[in-house]
Structure 1
Amino acid sequence: MSIKLLGRKRVSPQESRAAALGAARELLKTDGAAAVTLQSVAKRIGRTHANLLHHFGSAAGLQRALAEDIAQTVAASIEGAIEKRRLGQATERDVIDAMFDAFRREGAGELIGWIALTRQREALEPVIQTIDRIVRLMKAAGDERPVDRMTLGLTLLAIGDSLVGQEVARACALPRETVRQVAVTQIEALAGESLRD
């Protein structure tokens, strides 16, 4: 993804906000959550710190907006996989893979960890709402299994994997993807049945 340098060019508030969120995403992926500051994002898009303060109010506001943006992307990916499973076009393993891939690709684990460690837990609300929506979606589709417990375990594993999965797997002398099989085993135990392939 290339960052759009805005400079002195006059743009709409929506374009400015979108450019800032794009830059924040890139900083998150390349340099980590601590690098997502108003100053660093402003520099990336050729705007001032004051300009971003106007749009987000504070660094916490930027992080909340970033969490909302990432939560929407993660939700779309997971909900798409759930819908494909419902239509018989995907397996439950595909849903698990979609969750792990979405969290890993978007840097969600690091952002969630940073927000929690800096005690800005209100910024986690978009992620919480996304998880709640996924549970309700699965229940509404008639899934009578304990989808709340399944989602809890799967989400925590996916967040942990996106945060330190590579390092922990290396310490255990296992391939990183082993955690996905652990997730399958966990869900099978909670569901009381084998997952369909």
Structure 2
Amino acid sequence: MAITHTAETRPKRRRRPPEEARRIVLEAARTLLVEKGPQALTLQGVAAAVGMTHGNVTHHFGTSAALHAALVADMAEAMAREAELSVQQMRAGHIGPETVVARIFEALNRGGYGRLVAWLAASGDIATLEPFFAAVEREVTLLRGVEPPETDSHVRGTGPITFMLLAGALGATLLGPDMVRATGLTDAAVAQLFVTQMQSMRAT
């Protein structure tokens, strides 16, 4: 015999705390980013991936731009922490510059983050990238604070190195393998180019 649930007997759907719901949505967005690319990061697409209604995702993020900004901020914080740790380890002599270069490139490639940043920039959605720029500025200011005071910050040190590495890593995210092939280089040779540039630009 079929059981008919009344309002009193119907199982209640558990209401997730707002922070948990946001975390679940962001995790689903990261998966979509890897599997289908940044163009798939719509509120409808993420809602379908996570098993929520479009209204629920809208309640937590409001717009696709807000979802993109939250994802950029989340990934920027992780990248900034890794970059800061890598530079501190290099300055202490625990790792070499080649490891720093490899980690920066990996941080932007991981989870399609570099593709997202480049896609938003190409779309003209610069405001959404503000968390990325804020994280970069914060880390540059922090790391520059322990450099020799006479360092020309326009030529040497954290600022120029960060610009060079991030610009190169973003370019490699989009065109890396094909550009390496077109120029007749190897991945190892390209990595060494960045290491050499980084060494020449370090504060002394």
Normalised-by-shorter TM-score class = 0.7 to 0.9
Counterpart in the other structure of 1:179: 190
Counterpart in the other structure of 1:147: 158
Among 23, 26, 33, the alignment partner of 1:28 is: 33
Gaps of 5+ in 2: 1-12
Counterpart in the other structure of 1:166: 177
Report which stretch shifted further, 172-181 or 147-156: 172-181
Residues 78/28 of structure 1: CA separation in 2 closer, same or farther (3 Å cut): same
Identity within the alignment, % = 35
Q: Is the 8 A contact 2:25 2:47 kept in 1?
A: yes
Q: Is the 8 A contact 1:157 1:179 kept in 2?
A: no
Aligned mates of 1:163, 1:71 — CA distance in 2 = 18
Aligned mates of 1:25, 1:163 — CA distance in 2 = 18
Counterpart in the other structure of 1:134: 139
1:27 Cα offset (Å): 1.1
Residue deviations 1:17-46 (CA, integer Å, cap 9, x gap): 001111111111121110111111111110
Aligned mates of 1:37, 1:112 — CA distance in 2 = 16
Counterpart in the other structure of 1:5: none
1:129 Cα offset (Å): 1.2
Q: Is the 8 A contact 1:74 1:106 kept in 2?
A: no
Among 55, 64, 81, the alignment partner of 2:60 is: 55
Residue deviations 1:120-161 (CA, integer Å, cap 9, x gap): 111111111121122112212225443211111111001111
Residue deviations 1:76-111 (CA, integer Å, cap 9, x gap): 211111122233222222222111111111322211
Gaps of 5+ in 1: 1-7
Q: CA RMSD in A?
A: 1.9
Residue correspondence of structure 1 range 91-106 to structure 2 within 5 A:
91-106=96-111
Aligned mates of 1:190, 1:173 — CA distance in 2 = 26
TM-score, normalising length: structure 1:
0.86
Report which stretch shifted further, 88-97 or 170-179: 170-179
